[in-house]
Amino acid sequence: MYQEPLIPLSADDFPGRRRFLKQVVAGAAGAAMFSLAAPLVAEAASLSSQESSMSNLSVSGAAAFPRTSFYTVTADGVDVFYRSAGAPDAPVVLLLHGFPSSSHMYRELIPRLAGRYRVIAPDLPGFGFTKVPAERRYRYSFEALTQTLSAFVDALGLKRYALYVFDYGAPTGFRLAMAHPERVTAIVTQNGNAYEEGLGEAWGPFQRYWREPTQENREALREALTLETTFWAYTHGLAHPENVAPEAYHLDAALMARPGNAEIQLDLFLDYAANVKIYPRFQDYFRTAKPPLLAIWGKHDQLFIPAGAEAFRRDNPNAQVQLLEASHFALETHVDEIAAAMDRFLQPLAK
């Protein structure tokens, strides 16, 4: 059973139904209670984006944010859920999430960019609201995630796009870029790593599992799937952790609690070693293609540390690096700074 993180929360943090959602999810005991919580989880994701679209000003100075819409498209035999906003003929920005999140992590960023860009954020298989039919017999690996993402891009007819990559979104996005370098107009990497020096000490148990993929080492990583660990990833190093919206980490924890999902995540933990092996290939892509690149990083991240951001300059001298007083999930506390930096970076490149 989930235990409530010991953080101060005011009533203002939980308007209406999301207060009830938190109570349901926090007390959920596996699949039985999740069946009750799931409709409310979906509603919370929708409410977050809808509230954002009605209550703030956009980077471009419009009177209100464009509204985010929610879709599902079948690609690679998978029902891929995605969020989208912006004019259909605007330059495309493709947002790729990481572990243990989903496109929900972009709920505040999407409307801030959608005044100038067509912004699209899919949920990868095993995450968020993307559904993988049982008959698909999906094998969860980063190559498979990339294959599905490639099919998703083709299904939407995307020929040119900028990439925003984070965490797991980095190895999938970089694979996508290597396969079709002509499509990628720019890369924004927010704590999306491609260098071994960017792996923090928190990777120790994972590296042990890569070296010795025993059941004992696999079981030791189940702690990484708990609400407590997710809360840590969202708030570590922050002076004001109470500024992180609690529905974000509760949603991640609830979705990971679905039947069978823990094994999916443990499989991906093991397969992350395949990403490290091809880091040199990613680096060769940066040297040869030289995509315009902005590495904007939460410097208190203990998973992908700032050295990983600085390393991009080694292979791409034109890479820009910006460190923020943020943690792993920098958008939770610095969405305005990131949106403004992206707008400055992308505007000259948008065609």
Strand partners for 75: 78
Number of H helices, E strands in the chain: 13, 8
Nearest to 165 by CA among 326, 320, 286, 297: 297
Catalytic residue among 104, 300, 328, 334: 328
Given a contact cutoff of 8 angstroms between Cβ atoms, the answer to whether 80 and 72 are in contact is yes
Going by the DSSP 8-state scheme, the letter that residue 181 receives in this structure is: G
Helix H or strand E segment including 18 = helix 17-26
Q: Count the residues in the chain.
A: 351
Contact (Cβ atoms closer than 8 angstroms) between residue 282 and residue 264: no
Residue 83's nearest CA partner among 98, 94, 99 is: 94
Would residue 300 show up in a list of annotated catalytic residues for this protein? no
Residue 211, C-beta contacts closer than 8 angstroms, at least 6 positions apart: none
Both tokens of residue 90? 């605007």
Q: Are strands 78-85 and 69-75 parallel, antiparallel or unpaired?
A: antiparallel
**DSSP tag of 89:** T
Q: Shortest CA distance to 294 belongs to which of 317, 328, 320, 329?
A: 320
Q: Rg of the Cα trace of the chain?
A: 19
Task: Please give the Cα distance from 289 to 87 (Å, whole number).
Answer: 28
Distance, in Å, from the CA atom of 300 to the CA atom of 325, rounded to the nearest integer, reads 7
Q: For residues 252 and 262, what is the distance between their CA atoms, to the nearest angstrom?
A: 12
Q: Kind of pairing, strands 161-165 and 92-96?
A: parallel
Query: How far is residue 25's CA from residue 222's CA, in Å, rounded to a whole number?
Result: 19
Residues annotated as catalytic are 328
